[in-house]
Amino acid sequence: MNPVFADLPTSVFEVMSRLAREHGAINLGQGFPDGPGPADVRERAAEALRDGFNQYPPMMGLPALRGAIAAHYARHQGLALDPDTEVMVTSGATEALAGALLALIEPGDEVVLFAPLYDAYLPLVRRAGGIPRIVTLSHPEFRLDADALAAAFGPRTRVVLLNNPLNPGATLFPDEDLALLAGFCRRFDAVAVCDEVWEHVIFDHARHRPLMALPGMRERTVKIGSAGKIFSLTGWKVGFVMAEARLMRVLAKAHQYITFTTPPNLQEAVAYGLAKDDAYFEDMRRGFARSRDRLGLGLAGLGFRVLPSRATYFLNIDIAGLGFADDVAFCEALVRCHGVAAIPVSAFYADSPARNLVRLCFAKDDATLDAALERMAGLARRAA
């Protein structure tokens, strides 16, 4: 069996969700909202399932969805994408990532990654034969810096994989960091695979700037998005890939033999949803920001050190000094003894992890957040 997968543990998200079920805990671990998602988008999917065409859609995605994706990114991010040659629909961002890494990496190529890193990245890079060169970012800012990039990039660098906004950092990379990274990509002739699934889940009037929009990056960036995050429907697994036609031709070959297509009813509904007016996106952000503040202020009131959250469904707390061996010990105690599931941030590192950060998902209704806070009060007392 292939050792990359044979030696892997089960994903921390699955493990924590299982523990949450076993202990009847409130699940603030795995990132999914507990709301049902927008009714009109779901209705559209139901109609298409009932009355629509349910056979294989075109491999690259329904033309209506590819057109909607191009129009969406023109409107929200100023990108000019050709829906026929530069847009592809995948079964989630996860497939898009797997396909991009399989298509772009040749065995022995070096791939620059940033820790904390989303747990799918490293096994996919390794399975493609890539040699990871990991740059560790320091919390709470998680910024890029020139010396660290200079140490990671080299003549064998083929791909750099960036997650912006950053899960679990809950940060966005500022323009100057993106410009710095773009400079390295140009200098070393590397392709940037940019996982931007959290691009709409940003707060406090932040603006998301796609790496693809920076000078010299249009022809060397693979941009990845996910309808699951845009519409709070994480189980749908409708992803998108945007890249210049020369790259896209190769990415399409990977997609053709991974899933080939994505359920057509969901594609129709996502095409409809992407055209929603700005108010939808603003309301969504406002709602999540409210929940972020409810949980964040509540935790701070209990005595926890809460790191700022500017994006994603998550906030982090710093548990140093609370009397636990590390973040894993804290999360074990939290789920088993206090009935709240969270994610130890050390799971997002390959080595030398931060062991004092714990990620909590705030995309929940008020009653759930309040109940979690009540259960966590015991831990804060323990710290006092």
Q: How far is the CB of 108 from ligand PMP (least distance, A)?
A: 26
In terms of Cβ atoms closer than 10 Å to its own Cβ (0-12, 13-18, 19+), residue 248 is buried
Distance from C-alpha of 371 to C-alpha of 36, rounded to nearest angstrom = 20
Binding mask 102-141 for ligand PMP (x = CB under 6 A): ----------------x-----------------------
- Rounded to a whole number of angstroms, the minimum distance from the CB of residue 238 to ligand GLN is 15
Q: Which of residues 165-184 bind ligand PMP (CB under 6 A)?
A: 167
Instruction: Find the binding residues for ligand PMP in span 3-32 (CB under 6 A).
Output: 31
Q: Which stretch binds ligand PMP (CB under 6 A): 86-94, 124-132, 145-153, 332-340?
A: 86-94
Q: Which is nearer to ligand PMP, 37 or 339 (CB)?
A: 37
Residue 379 found at the interface with ligand PMP (CB under 6 A): no
The answer to whether the CB of 55 falls within 8 A of the CB of 39 is no
- In angstroms, give the least distance from the CB of 148 to ligand GLN: 24
Q: Which of 157, 163, 167, 261 binds ligand GLN (CB under 6 A)?
A: 167
As beta bridge partners, residue 132 has: 111
Q: Exactly one of 13, 280, 281, 349 binds ligand GLN (CB under 6 A); which one?
A: 13
Question: Contacting ligand PMP (CB under 6 A), which of 48, 65, 93, 113?
Answer: 93
Supply φ then ψ for residue 9, to 5 degrees.
-75, 165
d(CA 250, CA 231): 29
The DSSP element (H or E) to which 136 belongs, if any, is: strand 131-136
CB-wise, 167 or 262, nearer to ligand GLN?
167
Which residues between 245 and 304 bind ligand PMP (CB under 6 A)?
Answer: none
* 30 in contact with ligand GLN (CB under 6 A): yes
Residue closer to ligand GLN, measured from CB, 33 or 264: 33
Cβ(139)–Cβ(316) below 8 Å: yes
**310, interface contact from ligand PMP, ligand GLN, none, CB < 5-8 Å by kind:** none
Q: Does 349 bind ligand GLN (CB under 6 A)?
A: no
| Residue 46 backbone zone (phi > 0: left; psi -120 to 50: alpha; other: beta) | alpha
Q: Does 94 participate in binding ligand PMP (rule CB under 6 A)?
A: yes
Write the CB contacts of 103 (distance below 8 Å, at least 6 apart in sequence): 250, 251, 253, 254
Among ligand GLN, ligand PMP, none, partner that 267 touches (CB below 5 to 8 angstroms by kind): none
Q: How many residues bind ligand PMP (CB under 6 A)?
A: 14
Angle at 28 between CA 24 and CA 29, to 5 degrees: 95
Binding mask 197-236 for ligand PMP (x = CB under 6 A): x----------------------------x-x-----x--
Nearer to ligand GLN, 11 or 85 (CB): 11
Question: Helix crossing, 63-77 with 264-274: angle to 10°?
Answer: 30
11 interface partner picked from ligand GLN, ligand PMP, none, CB below 5 to 8 A per type: ligand GLN
| Residue 315 C-beta: closest distance to ligand GLN, Å | 13
Sign of CA dihedral 47, 49, 55, 56: positive
CB neighbours of 271 closer than 8 A, spacing ≥ 6?
Answer: 62, 64, 65, 67, 68
> Quick one: what does residue 163 bind among ligand PMP, ligand GLN, none, with the CB cut-off 5 to 8 Å set by partner type?
ligand PMP
Residue 306 main-chain phi, psi, to 5 deg:
-105, 125
Q: How far is the CB of 33 from ligand GLN (least distance, A)?
A: 11
CA–CA dist 329, 332 (Å, integer):
5
Per-residue contact flags (x/-) with ligand GLN for residues 124 to 163, judged by CB under 6 A: ----------------------------------------
Token pair of 364, please?
């929940």
CA–CA distance, 247 with 31 (Å, rounded to integer): 31
Instruction: Locate 16 and state its tokens.
Output: 């924590």
Nearer to ligand PMP, 188 or 236 (CB): 236
CA distances from 287 to 229, 284, 313, 362, 363 (A): 14, 5, 11, 10, 9
Footprint on this chain of ligand GLN (rule: CB under 6 A)? 11, 13, 30-31, 167
